[in-house]
Structure 1
């Protein structure tokens, strides 16, 4: 990180973008310039005027733009050392109804990020992925799988350029907009929490853990890796019971394009997956460096043949009491159980 003096974050006004920029400002004072690249001028205005960002205004640059616009993205990347690619269309139902809009942003947008990095002398690119890119069953997941492939394959076309591209893959962030915990908290006062399936599970990751992963990739990626965190799972029914144990919990069925369990590493991926201690790493299909050197450097080892990383078969689980503490810490400090 010390050699990086400027960084650009696509989707920089989102939940991840703001938290990532907070960490950079607080932990890396040598960072000279941070470019916030996003579509919404109101969100940029509001972010620029938040006291925690206002006091660093000499370092911040706000660029209105869309990752679909390759020329605008290149202009924003001039003089940038690293790109964090967090911009995406993420709503599964909206993607199914508007498929080409999702493809234009998530696939063509990733291609534009790659081209901007190659043309502007960027040194590091880290793209955010999702569990839905592993064996995708909906269009959003399919576009993110394509995005991952584009980012990873960019390492094969960089030539003599000193740039590394890598991907960070994780599931829904705890308390993020549209996720189950805020939804249940809003519905709790009605005494009715609809459950899609009593067996449904999800991985649990906090926003700070997501930021930690991206920072790790920035500092340690050799190029082409997909980094996957080792994190606990929770049962959707346990989330409901943590928030409102006495509420009615009617089962409404799984929605189209939704999985019963989250999956981040498939059984097929096991042949190219390393256990690196804190994280798993899925290796690129075309290597530009020595795996033996990588294994030694990170004290890593291959996972067992047939290994898969699934929220339903995970060995680490969050209890109801732990969920309540996590909600207080990461979602709403004033949270109280609805009896």
Structure 2
């Protein structure tokens, strides 16, 4: 039985790809008392209401994570929060840095403070592989947000609220995915643009990401950063799985883009253990002033451990990727 069962859950950014997948899972499997969507776009909320058929357990709050008072109102009576709201486009962040800081950094601080003041029990925030050794503005804001949530446990030490973070890579089927664009181009007989033919990435499906968040609520004490042990893939193999035989051309890395992604740096690896039969890595907090206890079930990783997409021990082939995309369709 999950800790989330029968509880009141709020999802910031609840009309995004992850938010809708999480809500569908919660309604189907967790029997929540209430699921509260907190997002700023009324059209997306209208479309989501149609998707969930006006389920009586759903509540809808228009609001921005930049607005702490609105967050506090929305969190009244809430047991658990999933923080999925963020600005995420790497190239957009390079040209609009202040806006990304307002949402991803200040918004995260607002979520932490509102959750403590509202008496929320547990908060899980979504991060990204781009937060590990960041080279772009988006990644830097998400690394800062990771720190805000992990260290938010210090602010909440005398309160019941606890915070943890999940970090994962590219999600199949998420909004903004290159896959629909590639399919349309291939149907027109066009060559597929690849940012760099050498690129590698991590790949996770939406159901896997949702289950990871549910599992994190159950395993967390507060202060953990949880990373899935998932396969890597070559970007050219993804393109061939999407459009077999299609021509490809190299367009070069975009501003702020890495050749290979990283989810755990060498320095972070010193705090990593594996849990749940190797399904997840947990980065334990460096400070534990709120009473964190080192995990007895954690299996230490090797000395000098580094989780990067080109150095992974798990890999998807073209056929593997095609099977994942088919199952995720």
Q: Identify the TM-score tier after normalising by the shorter chain.
A: over 0.9
Instruction: Please state if 1:172 is matched with 2:174.
Output: no
Q: State the Cα distance separating 1:176 from its structure 2 match.
A: 1.6
Structure 2: segments with no counterpart, 5+ residues: none
Contact 1:34 1:60 survives alignment (8 Å):
yes
TM-score, structure 1 as length reference: 0.92
RMSD of equivalent CA atoms: 1.5
Aligned length: 324
What is aligned with 2:21? 19
Q: State the Cα distance separating 1:2 from its structure 2 match.
A: 5.4
Equivalent of 2:315 in 297, 314, 317: 317
Contact 2:238 2:321 survives alignment (8 Å):
yes
Cα offsets for 1:137-173 (capped at 9, x unmatched): 0000000000000000011111321121000000110
What is aligned with 2:109? 111
1:220-299 aligned within 5 A: 220-276=219-275, 277-288=278-289, 294-296=294-296, 299=297
What is aligned with 1:337? none
Equivalent of 1:149 in 147, 150, 153: 147
Contact 1:188 1:247 survives alignment (8 Å):
yes
Q: Distance in 2 between matches of 1:226 and 1:16?
A: 18
Q: State the Cα distance separating 1:302 from its structure 2 match.
A: 2.0
Q: Distance in 1 between matches of 2:315 and 2:5?
A: 39
Cα offsets for 1:280-337 (capped at 9, x unmatched): 011112124777x5432xx212212211001111121111112112222213xxxxxx
Contact 1:4 1:81 survives alignment (8 Å):
no
What is aligned with 2:73? 75
Change (3 A) 1:55 1:43: closer
Instruction: Please state if 1:195 is matched with 2:207.
Output: no
| Structure with the higher fraction of residues in strand conformation | 2
1:52-67 aligned within 5 A: 53-54=52-53, 56=55, 58-67=56-65
The DSSP-based 3-state class of the residue aligned with 1:149 is: helix
Contact 2:18 2:174 survives alignment (8 Å):
no
Q: Distance in 2 between matches of 1:263 and 1:148?
A: 15
